[in-house]
Amino acid sequence: MAIEKKIQEILTSIDNDEYTIPEFQRGYVWNSTQVKGFIRSLYLGYPSGSFLIWKTKEPSKIRGDQKETNSVFHHLILDGQQRLTTIYTIFKGKTPEWYEGVALRTDLYFNISTEEFEYYTQRKMSNKPEWINVSEFLSKGGVSHFISGLDKLSEEDRKYYIQNLTTLNKLGAIKDYGYYIKEITITELDKVVEIFNLVNKTGTTLNESDLALAIITSNWPEIKDRFREAIEEYKKYNYDLSFRFLTRCLNILTTERGKYTAEITYVTKEEFEEAWKRLNKILPHLINILRDSAYIDSSEDYSSVYVLYVLVYYLSRKNLKFESTEEANKAIYWMFMALLWGRFSGSSESYLEKDMNILKESDSIDELIQEMHLYRGANLFLRPEDLAMQGVRSRIYNIFYSSIRAQNAKDWTNPALSLYSKNIGYNNKLQRHHIFPKAFLYEKYNSNNSVHKAMINEIANIAFITQESNMEILASDPKNYLPKIDATELRKQFVPTDENLYALNRYEQFLESRRELLCNGINKFLSSYYNDIKGSGVPEDLEHYDNKIEEIELSLRDLISNKLDMAAELDSYQEYVPSHLKEKVEAKIKSWITKNPGEDKTQFLMLRRKLDFFDLQEYFEVVSSKTVWPIFEETFGSKGSLQARFSQIGELRNSIRHSRGATEVAIKDGEAAIAWFVSILRSSASTVEQENSDE
């Protein structure tokens, strides 16, 4: 059955508790841009869909308090929660009973002259009569109430509003916007969840985690309450876990899959409950270990939670806990290396599946570490050049913090206070401190130069001190304030104690020295968990080049994948990779799958995964092909230069890998090519990072 209701009538129905939200629904997810666009559509009278209501005598668990009504039937919203929550909040100035999720702003303003909607900014809207608060206008009764208050305004403002009554009436008329409401009366909850999942694949798309949680909730309606209780408990210890995180953990424990698959639909309530009990033993144990032994103070200190999924699965196959300090330390070492080298920064689910498969076969952290060597190379430790131009967004940053915490480093002006990111008291809060203050460095360096800015903000110029110390030091000259700091505390943060390096004209030498100290300090910290020494089969004096080339290869794969995926209409591999290369690569992939029959073949649907089977020359052939080169020309400049650099780096790589000895010319040419690639790839990565931050 379908009926039509005006927004004003729908609001009354919500106030009378006629409409509620089933617990299996996700929370509110709309952002401010979506809210603004939606309200604008209502104002202009554009179509904005209908509402789907589940009419039932026996509802599933609902979100919020279930109140008694005179109605025999309950009406649960299946499709329309985001719109109804927005309408209610804007019209009432408060959120409905069922509200849960991201914050919903009510400071949306309307310009009577231009009929545009914008969120409040003081400079643009303060004391400007043409701008009115939409929620305030609608929640107080619209035009009638607004007009009744005109006598309190200046004559000029009264005249302006009276002249624009037509526009004000149009804004108030949103309450009369009509919606079709479709009711269904299905009795089977699983069918209802199926419909919910289908209709919600449009609009703000449900991700797989949302769909999985809907399925779990249909089997076990109380699970979200369990999640909420656990989330509040872990928050006390600075671990801000999410529904999404806990849902993935339950999926892993019940289906033994990292990805969400149809298998979760066959899991019973009893199996979910048992998995939840196990998870409630695993997580406290794991978090305690990581807080106490890995110096990871909070969930903010992880660049990827996927490492936790792997460790949760590992412990589920053991006795729900680490059996020894040695075992725990080895797991911490693997975790830090996976975070440091971005194990889960690309195809996260594929690598999660791969690591889980390794544990299914071996139940061994050693095998996970071995896989990291296959993923990254013989040397997993940092080199000083890895720190160059790396700022606080780098994956190195959180490990840098943990390594300093492990030194029991103290505050610089209050040595009685240990450095801890969750210190109590405003003045004791931990802050990032530029050892050479930014204002001081900009006397020499250009703040508009991206290279200079990166150099000023790199990790090698960062230390941790309290708010109070930071205020005391401010923009002081390092050669004046650093000698006053206890040298022991400087060394604990890997800061050079050579006072000759504290002069402004020695800043770049200071960075070089600090990178070296940081590199040694972090490597020593990592080695304290596990003595991981691998023979690379590469001459020691050339291993540095081999590792650097391997880094360049990884970065090239990411760059090529990112740019082609963005440029493609449907399938970047089919549209841009030359056909002769497809044949070679697909043969390699087929051979690999034959040797690894248990691996998930769907991982090869992604271009990034296929690129793992290209060699250096094939990267050049892809980038320089006729259809692809326009995409990369701005990045690499000249096709001839690019070919020369690939040739130089390839010659050095082959000399190293085939043990035929690298000539001095090959080494010099290779060094130049490495520097060229590093500069371009780092610049490209910074551009992507900036674009992402702007979004």
Complete DSSP assignment for 153-200:
S-HHHHHHHHHTHHHHHHHHGGGG-EEEEEEE----HHHHHHHHHHHT
CA 293 to chain centre: 25
Are 390 and 551 spatial neighbours (Cβ–Cβ below 8 Å)? no
CA distances from 685 to 386, 414, 606, 678 (A): 14, 39, 20, 10
Distance from C-alpha of 237 to C-alpha of 422, rounded to nearest angstrom: 10
Distance from C-alpha of 603 to C-alpha of 609, rounded to nearest angstrom: 7
CA 424 to chain centre: 27
For the chain (695 residues), the mean pLDDT of every run of 10, in chain order, is: 84 85 78 92 88 70 63 72 90 87 87 94 91 93 89 90 93 91 65 56 57 77 89 91 93 93 86 96 95 90 92 95 95 96 87 94 94 83 87 90 91 79 51 90 88 91 88 86 92 94 93 93 94 55 75 89 88 90 85 73 86 88 92 87 87 68 75 86 62 41
Q: Name 4's bridge partners.
A: 180
Q: pLDDT at position 648, please? A: 87
CA distances from 524 to 333, 372, 545 (A): 12, 19, 22
CA 612 to chain centre: 24
CA 297 to chain centre: 18
Q: pLDDT at position 255, please? A: 94
Give the tokens for residue 561: 């994948």
Distance from C-alpha of 252 to C-alpha of 305, rounded to nearest angstrom: 14
Cα Rg of the chain (Å, integer): 30
Distance from C-alpha of 239 to C-alpha of 292, rounded to nearest angstrom: 14
Largest CA-CA distance found in the chain, in angstroms, rounded: 93
Long-range contacts of residues 229-233, Cβ cutoff 8 Å, at least 24 apart? 230/280, 230/283
* Element at 465 (helix H, strand E): strand 462-466
Cα three-residue angle 574-578-579, rounded to 5 degrees:
80
Distance from C-alpha of 379 to C-alpha of 532, rounded to nearest angstrom: 9
- Of 647, 694, 654, nearest to 672 by C-alpha is 647
**Residue 516, number of CB atoms within 10 A of its CB:** 16
Distance from C-alpha of 509 to C-alpha of 506, rounded to nearest angstrom: 5
Break the chain into its structural domains and give their ranges.
2-189, 207-380, 385-527, 540-694
Distance from C-alpha of 407 to C-alpha of 195, rounded to nearest angstrom: 55
Kindly report the backbone phi and psi dihedral angles of residue 27, in degrees, each rounded to the nearest multiple of 5, phi listed first. Answer: -80, -170
DSSP secondary structure string, 46-89? -----EEEEEESS---BSS-----S-SSEEEEEE-HHHHHHHHH
Are 395 and 342 spatial neighbours (Cβ–Cβ below 8 Å)? yes
Give the tokens for residue 34: 């979506």
Are 398 and 301 spatial neighbours (Cβ–Cβ below 8 Å)? yes
Torsion sign over Cα 507, 513, 517, 522: positive
Give the tokens for residue 536: 């690379």
> Which residues lie below 8 Å from residue 451, measured CB to CB, with a gap of 6+?
389
Q: pLDDT at position 337, please? A: 95
Torsion sign over Cα 222, 223, 226, 228: negative
Q: pLDDT at position 313, please? A: 97
b/e per residue, 649-688, with b = 16+ CB within 10 A? bbbbbebbeeeeebeeebbebbeebbebbbebbbebebee
DSSP state at residue 601: G
Burial of 585 (0-12, 13-18, 19+ CB in 10 A): buried
Distance from C-alpha of 395 to C-alpha of 476, rounded to nearest angstrom: 29
Distance from C-alpha of 680 to C-alpha of 563, rounded to nearest angstrom: 14
Are 177 and 6 spatial neighbours (Cβ–Cβ below 8 Å)? yes
